[in-house]
Amino acid sequence: MKTDNEPISITVEYFAQLRACAKKKEETHNLEQGDLSALYARLKSQYHFPLERHSVHVAVNDEFASWDTVLRSGDRVVFIPPVSGG
């Protein structure tokens, strides 16, 4: 699908089991559109993440964000698997 939007460049940082699956701490992605759900689906498929989207939270630029947040170039994204501190 062709869009009028310029491609955007974002950084994804990985923690816990998602880091173990991706085998890396972070990477840069160029996206056609800033859709967090689409990004997670793509990474889930690429790295075989065992977690469905509904059990993952997301942070953008070090704050919790909702899945309908539209990403902008330079954003830093973290997908947060179920937490287990304490």
Partner 1 sequence: MSIFQITRDPIDLASLRSTLLDSGSGGFVSFEGWIRNRHNGREVLRLEYEAYDKLALTEGSRILAELRNQFGLSGIACIHRVGLLEVGEVAVCVAAAAEHRRECFEAVSLAMSSIKRRVPIWKHEFYADGGDAWVQCDHDH
Contact footprint for partner 1 (CB under 8 A):
13, 15-17, 20, 59, 62-64, 78, 80-86
Q: State the nearest-atom distance from the C-beta of 34 to partner 1, in Å.
A: 20
Q: State the nearest-atom distance from the C-beta of 21 to partner 1, in Å.
A: 10
Q: State the nearest-atom distance from the C-beta of 29 to partner 1, in Å.
A: 19
Instruction: Select 7 or 82, whichever has its Cβ closest to partner 1.
Output: 82
Separation in Å, CA 41 to CA 23, 30, 67, 80, 85:
17, 15, 12, 14, 26
Tokens of 23: 């085998």
Instruction: Select 31 or 79, whichever has its Cβ closest to partner 1.
Output: 79
Tokens of 7: 């491609």
DSSP character for 35? B
How long a stretch of residues is the chain? 86
